[in-house]
Structure 1
Amino acid sequence: MKFNIQSRLLLSHLSAVSKVVNSKNKLSILDNFLFNLQGNMLVITGSDQETTLTSRVEVQDAEGSGMFAANVKTLLDMLKSLSDTALTFEINDENLDINITYLNGHFNFIGVNGNEFPTKAESDEEPKVFTLPIKKVVEGIQHTIFAVGVDDMRPVMMGVYWDIKPDEVVFVASDTHKLVRYRELNTSTGLEQSFILPTKPAGILSSILDKKDGDVKITVDSKSATFETVDYTLSCRFVNGRYPNYNSVIPQSSQYDINVDRQSLLNALRRVSVFTSSSGLVKLELRPNEIFMSTQDVDYSTSAEEKVSCDYNGDTMAIGFNDENIIDVLNNLNSQEITMKLIDSSKAGIFLPSEQGDDEDLLILLMPMML
């Protein structure tokens, strides 16, 4: 086999595929990229057994066809050390000797038989297929992935939940302290389906699709999903288990509604959080036209107070939040102003962007701390 390709083009595709490869693998073959030359199309695959990512890139002057595998670290380190230059790959079909020639030199190493690479088992069930705009998939993941749980004791929380309905797609994530629900409205799928996309493939999918246009073809069965675009195909297994009823924990009414400049509140919280105790408790006291926040650490005799102007004319009330959690929430609300909806000091608070698009509905729930 033989083909030519620009080093930077190859590096961009290998870097994307490498995101799925673990640093340590039970199967040594998974330390490699799988290359499959089909005419002038080079198909590159990486896998960790649970998730598989395939990239397609066009090459020039291709001769022959077939598969071979090459070490991930070797190829990436080699390409990162080169300026953009034309590369000629020559692979001996018999002993898999790989010779890579460029303007000022060449690299030589032995590849691995591509037939050793694991393949996806065929499913007997009829899959469901639908299409979504790339933009909506990326927005759904990026709005929710920060709230995904990391507790191995609650595996169903360790992923982004997709609740697909005929005319909308709802993305949900929760670590039990905070919950994000992002609804993509007026999105025609024509089916009802739900699944939990694990954190790793969700993050990879978002990164490879970010800033791209077009649609994603999504094929779903009871255990896995495949996301396909012109350049990439990602297949992954779902998190097993039943996701909790997220709507049941979202308050449907509030006693206190506060509008405040997001950046002003965020900056003030960052300052006072320096002086929190190990619990991270920040006390927010709502007063007419202002939020008075305070923290203290009795063990070190430190404290901080600051007030932020807001649009609020109700009764005074106080509520406590963990500093890291509320800062995380505000960092992921991309609007100039936000609305806080509170019931009392013991009930979850709702955070909303003051302005949202016609086709979206973002809501973040945050559990309070005891004052």
Structure 2
Amino acid sequence: MKFIVSSSYLLKQLSAIKGVITTNPVVPILENFLFEITDGTLKVTASDLQTSMITEIEVEAKENGSIAVPAKILLETLSNLPEQPVTISVDEDTYSIEISSDNGRYKLSGENATDFPKVPEVTNGFSVNISSDVLATAINNTFFATSNDELRPAMTGVYIKLDETNTTFVATDGHRLVRYRRVDVAADVTNSMIIPRKALNLLKTTLPGENTNVSVEFNVSNAYFKFDHVKMICRLIDERFPDYDNVIPAENNNIMTIDRLEFLSSMKRIAIYANKTTHQVRIKITGSELMISAEDLDFSNEANERLSCEHDGEDIEIGFNAQFLIQMLSNLESKKISFKLQAANKAGLLVPVDKDENEDLLMLVMPVMLNNYV
């Protein structure tokens, strides 16, 4: 088996899927790319058993064949070669691979392609089309709120509910929750799935810069994303997602509206002085004045700042984890945000004031108990 391909183009396509390869995989062959040539098309697969990514490249080849190629050494070789055509020759009896460039030859050992795990196919599934811009925005708005707790696997992914009128993306770790809804993405039938965090992270980094259509297919066990020359298949999390609607308070009538960047900058400064274990900050709203303060009694550190805001409701004093608020404010894009509160022991809601007419974004954060409420 022999084929000729541009070194930089091959490197670009391999770089798009290399993120799925782990350093210590369950099966050693997963440290390889699977190369398969059929009628002048090179199909490259990378997998970690849970997630597989595939890219297709047009090459000059006279025969079909397959081989598993060590990913690390191949990527390092290509990244250090100048742009030029390279010839890759494979001895299918010994699995030895030779890369020939204008002024060099590089030999490496491959493995039998038949040992590479088969990629699952999505059959009898449902499908929906979604633009890459919308998908990237949905991932960015929810991904950060997923949990790292493997004992609660449902929370380690993003829940996606497809409906006839909208599509909802939800992520939670028990302390905060993000619900992102699009009315311009709908499906013929109602369905739902939980996509793992790693798969979403890979998808986010692989989606093209220019807006393009992403075809999504899924069944009870796998989801399949296709765009440009890239395909991704991931195993879904087979767990029941928490009933998030019951957690979102219906009547948070104490509303503060404030400049997002001002609030964020102040939170970052005050958080420096908060306790390093609890990250607790105190928010006190009196009339149209917001007081943010924090103290770390162990080191006698304390700080406070005053900001002006628009406020509709009674005066309130409430505590939050500064890290959660900073992350949420950083992921919002609106110039102004509304912080909807009810009581010192009830969840607060962050909502953007300016938003796309097709989207509905809500971020919920649980309070922490302040000393004077104990």
Structure-2-length-normalised TM-score = 0.95
Q: More deviation in 12-21 or 331-340?
A: 12-21
Rounded to whole Å, the distance in 2 between the matches of 1:4 and 1:244 is 52
Cα–Cα, structure 1 residues 235 and 275, in superposed 2: closer, same or farther, change >3 Å? Answer: same
After TM superposition, give the deviation of residue 255 of structure 1 in Å.
2.5
Q: More deviation in 193-202 or 208-217?
A: 208-217
Q: Does 1:100 align with 2:102?
A: no
Rounded to whole Å, the distance in 1 between the matches of 2:167 and 2:201 is 18
Aligned to 1:56: 56
SS of residue paired to 1:109: strand
Aligned to 1:87: 86
Rounded to whole Å, the distance in 2 between the matches of 1:10 and 1:268 is 46
**8 Å Cα contact 2:182/2:358 also seen in 1:** yes
RMSD: 1.5
After TM superposition, give the deviation of residue 341 of structure 1 in Å.
0.5
Aligned to 2:194: 196
Q: More deviation in 313-322 or 200-209?
A: 313-322
Gaps of 5+ in 2: none
Percent identical: 32
Cα–Cα, structure 1 residues 79 and 324, in superposed 2: closer, same or farther, change >3 Å? Answer: same
Aligned to 2:222: 224
1:1-371 aligned at under 5 Å gives the runs: 1-59=1-59, 61-121=60-120, 126-277=124-275, 278-371=277-370
**8 Å Cα contact 2:162/2:186 also seen in 1:** no
Rounded to whole Å, the distance in 1 between the matches of 2:334 and 2:130 is 25
Rounded to whole Å, the distance in 2 between the matches of 1:112 and 1:260 is 59
Deviations 1:298-318 (CA, angstroms, capped at 9, x unpaired): 111110011122112543211
After TM superposition, give the deviation of residue 290 of structure 1 in Å.
2.1
After TM superposition, give the deviation of residue 113 of structure 1 in Å.
1.2
SS of residue paired to 2:272: helix
After TM superposition, give the deviation of residue 215 of structure 1 in Å.
1.7
**8 Å Cα contact 2:274/2:281 also seen in 1:** yes
Q: More deviation in 221-230 or 352-361?
A: 221-230
Q: Which letter maps to 1:178? A: R
Gaps of 5+ in 1: none
After TM superposition, give the deviation of residue 122 of structure 1 in Å.
5.9
**8 Å Cα contact 1:127/1:219 also seen in 2:** yes
Rounded to whole Å, the distance in 2 between the matches of 1:363 and 1:84 is 47
After TM superposition, give the deviation of residue 104 of structure 1 in Å.
2.2
Deviations 1:36-81 (CA, angstroms, capped at 9, x unpaired): 112222111011111111011222x222111111111111121222
Q: Which letter maps to 2:184? A: N
Rounded to whole Å, the distance in 2 between the matches of 1:313 and 1:83 is 63
Rounded to whole Å, the distance in 2 between the matches of 1:224 and 1:172 is 19
Q: Which letter maps to 2:72? A: K
SS of residue paired to 1:171: strand
Q: Which letter maps to 2:28? A: S
After TM superposition, give the deviation of residue 369 of structure 1 in Å.
0.5
**8 Å Cα contact 2:255/2:312 also seen in 1:** no
Rounded to whole Å, the distance in 1 between the matches of 2:186 and 2:67 is 41
Structure-1-length-normalised TM-score = 0.96
Deviations 1:297-344 (CA, angstroms, capped at 9, x unpaired): 111111001112211254321111001111011011111111110001
After TM superposition, give the deviation of residue 135 of structure 1 in Å.
2.1
Cα–Cα, structure 1 residues 109 and 27, in superposed 2: closer, same or farther, change >3 Å? Answer: same
